[in-house]
Chain A
Amino acid sequence: AQTVTQSQPEMSVQEAETVTLSCTYDTSESDYYLFWYKQPPSRQMILVIRQEAYKQQNATENRFSVNFQKAAKSFSLKISDSQLGDAAMYFCAYIKGRRGGSNYKLTFGKGTLLTVNP
């Protein structure tokens, strides 16, 4: 079964600085997708960034980028120029690429609570 591990329950960063959130996963699949979701106090789950396992190039979305190390099964999120609005719980998630079947589901890590200090 696939597992996702976020080893940092809490992180803090100064406004305008850069922070990296860690995520490792375990799977026997070769085709899969990885995600970072942001959950602010409103509880809405917001997709931050998505990575396809077969793509070697790291995904980037404005100030958000990932460091995807497939062999090491690592998927860290880097937030540059941190803003107060970035403060939230961040979840790393995995889903296998092939749809259907009993284990087609989004598996989450336990989350990292990010605080942004002014």
Chain B
Amino acid sequence: GAVVSQHPSWVICKSGTSVKIECRSLDFQATTMFWYRQFPKQSLMLMATSNEGSKATYEQGVEKDKFLINHASLTLSTLTVTSAHPEDSSFYICSAAFVSGNTIYFGEGSWLTVV
């Protein structure tokens, strides 16, 4: 079964509004979670690394004020897309690092459509 749960799977929002995506590790504690964005027919692009209890580390070119990441507990990280625009429409996917062996598990992903 899934070890990382991501919600919602699909979301449609109006331009200018904010939307939150949750990523939960099930049955294990994840001190580190990662957020990716994937464009059609491309690889996963790392947006930021989320560490429990500290500020996220953003990759170059990713607007930290636009994509707010919070990792308030060892099992939950959230990505909030603020003031969303149509160009933010994409597939967003999170992953969590399992302590043993550095195995990385992925959530199911979230399709965001901004209209």
User: CB within 8 Å of B: which residues of A?
Assistant: 33, 35, 37, 43-47, 50, 52, 91, 93, 95, 97, 99-100, 102, 104-111
**Contact A111 B43, CB 8 Å, known A45-B95, A99-B97, A104-B32:** yes
The total of Cβ contacts below 8 Å across the A-B interface reads 56
The reply to whether the CB of B88 lies closer than 8 angstroms to some CB of chain A is no
How far is it, in angstroms, between the C-alpha of A100 and the C-alpha of B31 when the chains are bound?
10
CA distance A108 to B91 in the complex (A): 16
A43-B93, A43-B109, A104-B49 given as contacts; is B42 within 8 A of A50 (CB)? no
Cross-chain pairs A/B with CB under 8 angstroms, 9 sampled: A33-B101, A43-B93, A44-B109, A47-B106, A50-B101, A50-B103, A95-B104, A105-B34, A111-B42
Please tell me if the beta carbons of A99 and B32 are within 8 angstroms of each other in the complex. yes
Q: Are B104 and A35 in contact (CB under 8 A)?
A: yes
Whole-angstrom distance between the Cβ of B51 and the nearest chain A Cβ: 8
**Which residues from 8 to 61 on chain B have a C-beta closer than 8 Å to any C-beta of chain A?**
31-32, 34, 38, 42-44, 46, 49, 57
Residues of A within 8 A of B46 (CB): 105-107
Interface size range of chain B in the complex:
20 to 34
- In the assembly, what is the distance between CA of A93 and CA of B44, in Å? 10
**Contact partners of A109 in chain B: CB under 8 A:** 43
Known pairs A110-B42, A111-B42. 11 more at Cβ < 8 A?
A43-B108, A45-B93, A47-B103, A47-B104, A47-B105, A50-B101, A91-B43, A95-B104, A97-B102, A99-B102, A105-B49
CA distance A46 to B102 in the complex (A): 15
A76 to B40, CA, bound (A): 25
Contacts known (A99-B32, A104-B32, A105-B34); A43 close to B91, Cβ less than 8 A: yes
